[in-house]
């Protein structure tokens, strides 16, 4: 049995049952990393001895009969913008080289509490924006893995770890998951704490997870969701039963709203055709919904918020090290410095206006179905691809998941994105599982 390719839920159960040890699993993943890392470049920091030491402690806890968390002994990759007290956090920039935090981010602390093994830090793009790092797509080394959570998506796709965490301010979770052919899930805004995560934009920054199945992303997301007073936008609510509910059969057959969004013509012809065929195959379970004309301004509102916030968040980096920033990031910061306060505040206020239109959609539909990306991962490593099919959902703080159900014209993965109502994450995952099973049986 190839332990490195086991899903997280299965591996956790095998460890609890004493059929494998955490050390066995970590060793298998380290062997996979050793085989592939020189080609893929998914890791910003990896210390095999530290990973094995964590595994030894996990195995000892099991032998002593101590309480076990939901991810006990399971390795997780952590995007290199989450602070880790025992590993450097360099944020994908030479300006933060050698930075060593003294405290774990809330997400990292929750992972440790659940018994997870922090395998290492995965590559991020420069300051989690657009300029790519060293990571390549495991399916084709000449193509981008997407960004900004490049290393997290690639590490899961390559069998280096069964789980990883990332962030999304525009399309930084869903896009790389689609390009790398894995499951990427971004919960409702405010569900997972951003405390001690590199800040870009308070109204937009969201934490998400990568895995090889819906049950795996549900398992880790349920572990991470929770109220945190250190995050001003954290939501105080009961933790949703994601893992249990995603496995249940829907009480009635779900209905999907096929939404093309105002950027539909930016998708490549193959992608447009593939989604129209998929919706046709779903028959009465899917119907096309047209968004009001006001959504034509959504991408510009997102740009104004993001760039103005980048100018504020990275003011020190721009002041002290502009010559060491990429041209694309400098241009975004410079545009952000020119955004008027009135325009910024109007853009932030527009989020709830846009979302009110979706509330009517969700009265009759369980989820929205739409492309995750404009197409397959593009050839070349100079860019990370377009996030435009994620922008509206990120702006509105809605939960989204991409499912590796389709292939592009060149045989590369092509994600199917489902988007849910705010706070209705469990139903979104249950609907996603139904769609996966429906497509598999077609």
If one counts every other C-beta atom within 10 angstroms of the C-beta of residue 438, the result is: 15
Phi, psi of 90 (to 5 degrees): -110, -5
Element (H, E) at 404: strand 400-407
CB 92 within 8 A of CB 127: yes
| Residue 421 among the catalytic residues | no
SS3 73: coil
| Residues forming a β-bridge with 367 | 256
**Structure token digits, residue 439:** 């497509």
> Would you say the C-alpha torsion 390, 396, 397, 399 has a positive or negative sign?
negative
Q: Is 25 helix (H, G, I), strand (E, B) or coil?
A: helix
Within 8 A by CB and 6+ apart from 284, the residues are none
Query: What SS3 state is found at 420?
Result: coil
Compute the residue count for the chain: 442
Query: Which of helix, strand or coil describes residue 423?
Result: coil
**Burial of residue 369 (number of CB atoms within 10 Å: 0-12, 13-18, 19+):** buried
**CB–CB of 71/111 below 8 Å?**
yes
The catalytic position among 6, 23, 79, 260 is 79
Task: Say how far apart CA 102 and CA 124 lie, in whole Å.
Answer: 21
Q: Which of 148, 149, 313, 421 is catalytic?
A: 148
Distance separating alpha carbons of residues 189 and 352, to the nearest angstrom? 13
Question: To 10 degrees, what angle do helices 22-40 and 8-16 make?
Answer: 150
Residue pair 365/421 in contact (Cβ under 8 Å)? The answer is no
Tokens of 306: 């993001």
Looking at 149, 150, 172, 386, which residue is catalytic? 172
Concatenated DSSP letters for 140-186? BTTB---SSSHHHHHHHHTTS-SEEEEEESSSTTHHHHHHHTSEEEE
79 is catalytic: yes
SS3 118: strand
**Is 178 in contact with 211 (CB distance < 8 Å)?**
no
The residues assigned a catalytic role are 79, 148, 172
């Amino acid at each position: 049995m190839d332990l490195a390719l086991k899903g997280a839920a299965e591996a956790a159960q095998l460890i609890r049952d004493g059929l494998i040890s955490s050390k066995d699993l970590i060793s298998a993943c380290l062997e996979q990393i050793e085989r592939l890392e020189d080609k893929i470049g998914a890791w910003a920091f990896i210390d095999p001895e530290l990973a094995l030491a964590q595994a030894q402690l996990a195995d000892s806890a099991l032998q002593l009969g101590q309480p076990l968390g939901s991810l006990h002994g399971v390795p997780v990759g952590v995007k290199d913008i989450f602070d880790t007290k025992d590993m450097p956090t360099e944020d994908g920039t030479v300006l933060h080289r050698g930075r060593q935090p003294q405290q774990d981010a809330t997400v990292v602390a929750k992972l440790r509490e659940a018994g997870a093994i922090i395998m290492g830090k995965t590559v991020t793009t420069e300051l989690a924006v657009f300029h790519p790092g060293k990571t390549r797509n495991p399916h084709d080394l000449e193509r981008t893995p997407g960004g900004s959570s490049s290393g997290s998506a690639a590490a899961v796709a390559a069998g280096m770890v069964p789980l990883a965490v990332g962030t999304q301010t525009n399309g930084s979770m869903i896009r790389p998951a689609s390009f790398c052919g894995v499951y990427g899930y971004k919960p409702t805004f405010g569900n997972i704490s951003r405390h001690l995560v590199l800040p870009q934009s308070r109204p937009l920054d969201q934490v998400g997870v990568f895995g090889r199945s819906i049950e795996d992303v549900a398992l880790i997301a349920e572990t991470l969701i929770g109220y945190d007073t250190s995050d001003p936008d954290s939501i105080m609510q009961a933790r949703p039963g994601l893992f249990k509910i995603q496995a249940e059969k829907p009480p009635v057959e779900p209905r999907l709203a096929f939404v093309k969004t105002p950027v539909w013509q930016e998708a490549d012809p193959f992608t447009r055709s593939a989604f129209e065929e998929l919706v046709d195959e779903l028959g009465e379970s899917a119907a096309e919904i047209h968004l009001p004309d006001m959504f034509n301004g959504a991408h510009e509102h997102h740009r104004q918020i993001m760039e103005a916030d980048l100018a504020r968040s990275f003011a020190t980096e721009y002041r002290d090290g502009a010559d060491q920033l990429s041209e694309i990031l400098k241009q975004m910061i410079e545009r952000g410095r020119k955004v008027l306060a009135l325009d910024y505040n109007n853009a932030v206020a527009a989020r709830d206006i846009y979302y009110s239109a979706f509330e009517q959609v969700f009265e009759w539909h369980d989820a929205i179905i739409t492309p995750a990306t404009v197409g397959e991962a593009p050839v070349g490593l100079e860019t990370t691809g377009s996030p435009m099919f994620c922008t509206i959902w990120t702006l509105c703080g809605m939960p989204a998941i991409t499912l590796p159900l389709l292939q592009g014209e060149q045989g590369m993965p092509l994600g199917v994105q489902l988007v849910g109502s705010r706070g209705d994450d469990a139903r979104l995952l249950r609907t996603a599982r139904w769609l996966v099973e429906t497509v598999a049986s077609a």
